[in-house]
Amino acid sequence: MKKKFYITTPIYYINAEPSVGSACTTVAADVVARLHRQLGEEVFYLTGTDEHGEKVDESAQKAGLSVQEYCDQIAPKFSEAWKLLNISNDFFIRTTDKRHEKVVGEVLTKMYESGDVYKDKYEGYYCIGCESFKTEKELEDNHCPMHPPEKTVWKSEENWFFKLSKYVPKIIELIENDETNYVFPEGKRKEILAKLKAGVRDISISRESVSWGIPIPWDTKHTIYVWIDALINYYSATQFLEGKADFWPANLHVLGKEILWFHAVIWQAMLMSAKIEIPISTYTHGFYTIDGQKMSKSLGNTIPPKEMVAEFGVDASRYLIAKSFPNENDVDIGLGRFRETYNADLANNLGNLVSRVSKLAQGMKVEKKTLAFEHEFIDLIERLKLGEAIEFVLNKWINVSNAKINEVAPWKLDKEDPKRVELMNFCVDNLAKAAWHLKAFMPEASEKIEKVLDGEVGQMEGYLFPRILTAEQASKTGQVEQKNASEKLIIGVIKNISKHPDANTLQVVDVDTGTLGVVQIVTGARNIKEGDVVPLVLPGGRVNSPKGGIVKIEKGKLRGVKSFGMLASELELGVGEDHTGIYILDKKLADKVGQAIGKFVEIKI
């Protein structure tokens, strides 16, 4: 029987849409899940959305929708974002699922029957943003530091309470013992122990004034506090999904630091009260900041997953998120940093090695070998040190291969030269190992590498990771805009074509322009393929309009994806009447990339 492994992300609150913040937790959990599948284990990976509570009700009212309609509109945006990032979750749970609601009622009833739930009056501070009650120690200047001051209010209401304090001694005992501790990393373990020893009060588990929630089974005037409902999702999915009961208890809950207390203390105590086995471990990571600022919807500095995929592609987006994963401390990110990492690690390093090997060793026989993981690599993944795991692969197999190629210069040697053959065997072996280890991070790119090395070394079609514009190169594009319009019609070579994340009729095309690097173009044309030599019109260039006259091309966005110019048809260049597709130039012009088309083709504009 296969070993079972159950991993979860938090369920994401639907008062906001997916961002790189929620994506980092989801990608990290996906990397761990994929690794365990590669190890031959049976994996259950759960993610989903938290859809009850006061904030969801408010958001629905602002949108002019019923609360269920609002939930049904927003929840799919998360599941679609995870599909876009090639997340391999086995189930997407929603807390409005009636099957989940049934299990929540059953767990609450068990806690009630254990004598751990009682009615009392609550008076104190409540943060609407966190949807949680706050002690004075958790406040700064009488408000929650995570949200604006107006979000912290004084509440006085009669609620049902849970005897959390009853379970504190047992929880401390478990966490202090290295054999039974479930709070990771070590810094979060110390943080939780300090808070537990400072004193813990019983907590409210119901709300009388919030209607959008699951009713308390024995008192339907009250609804279950949203966090209590949400935490039970990890257990409920294993109870109502067929064949999943044996996956409980969860092996790993991956979560952000703002919800540590709920998962490390409240959740465990609830399970103890209901006489259900507790999870094996929780891993709490830090936050992303964006260019030095806290990521915030109000500041407009969030990075949606679809924006990342539009610029970098699926696998590269996964790689960039994983490499920058804030496993213990907060990490500052930004699109500029992502572009630099992409070009350095993927375009210039891994992608360049694949391109070199596929050309220099083309046709060479490849011996089929059984690959195994390095123990150090597995250990780094298990401890969510994803950036270090990636560096381990780059240093052990990629960097040394590129350095050796530069040293030996095999292009100067005959194909049968023993030095060249030995070097190519070394590089092929290293690439195979790297692809195997990186498969959890970049499944599609790894499979492409494996395909190139299958049986004999084949040719890589196009570039695995074409270079993209950095800020400096983008400024060069701006300088080009100052040239004459005729000089903005240049020769380009298509390096990569990918699907538009938001429009089936459009494609995102990477066009190599030589000194300007790779320019991103969005087009509806379908007659193009990787390797085609095409006419690229940069912003400021002019072409013939199908409606008559001449139009100036501007850079802009098509369905949310940036396009730095356009690819021209025969009609637009004045070399023919066809406007149904892109005018494909002679392949001989590929070595003239970046030069003005007018030097080689008679255009009439």
pLDDT of residue 397: 98
Q: Do domains 4-285 and 330-452 have the same CATH topology?
A: no
Q: Across all residues in the chain, what is the average pLDDT?
A: 90
Q: Residue 465 is encoded by which pair of tokens?
A: 């990771």
- Least confident piece of the model among 264-278, 432-446, 493-507: 493-507
Sorted by where each begins, the domain ranges of the chain are 4-285, 330-452, 471-599
Mean pLDDT, range 572-599, rounded to an integer: 87
At residue 482, does pLDDT exceed 50?
no
Mean pLDDT, range 27-54, rounded to an integer: 97
118-152 pLDDT, tens digit per residue, is: 999 877 777 766 666 677 677 777 777 766 777 78
Report how far residue 542's alpha carbon sits from residue 551's, in angstroms, rounded to the nearest whole number: 5
432 pLDDT band (50/70/90 cuts)?
very high
At residue 486, does pLDDT exceed 60?
no
Highest mean predicted confidence (pLDDT) among 78-82, 544-548, 553-557: 78-82
Mean pLDDT, range 425-443, rounded to an integer: 98
pLDDT of residue 27: 98
At residue 98, does pLDDT exceed 60?
yes
Mean pLDDT, range 573-593, rounded to an integer: 88
508-541 pLDDT, tens digit per residue, is: 999 988 877 788 999 999 999 999 999 999 988 8
Report how far residue 503's alpha carbon sits from residue 487's, in angstroms, rounded to the nearest whole number: 31
At residue 557, does pLDDT exceed 90?
no
- In terms of CATH architecture, what is 471-599? Beta Barrel (2.40)
Residue type, position 15, single letter: N
Q: Which CATH class is domain 4-285?
A: alpha beta
Q: Which of 238, 246, 210 is nearest to 225 (CA)?
A: 210
274-325 pLDDT, tens digit per residue, is: 999 999 999 999 999 988 888 766 566 788 999 899 889 999 999 999 999 9
Quick check: 274 and 107 in contact, CB under 8 A? yes
Q: Which of 162, 225, 11 is nearest to 97 (CA)?
A: 11
| Kind plus residue range of the DSSP H or E element containing 42 | strand 42-50
Quick check: 98 and 210 in contact, CB under 8 A? no
Q: Which residue has the tokens 């494609």?
A: 507
pLDDT of residue 302: 83
- Least confident piece of the model among 201-215, 479-493, 553-567: 479-493
477 pLDDT band (50/70/90 cuts)?
very low
Which CATH number describes the domain made up of 330-452? 1.10.730.10
Mean pLDDT, range 419-440, rounded to an integer: 97
Percent over 90 (pLDDT), the chain:
67
| Residue 287: strand pairing partners | none
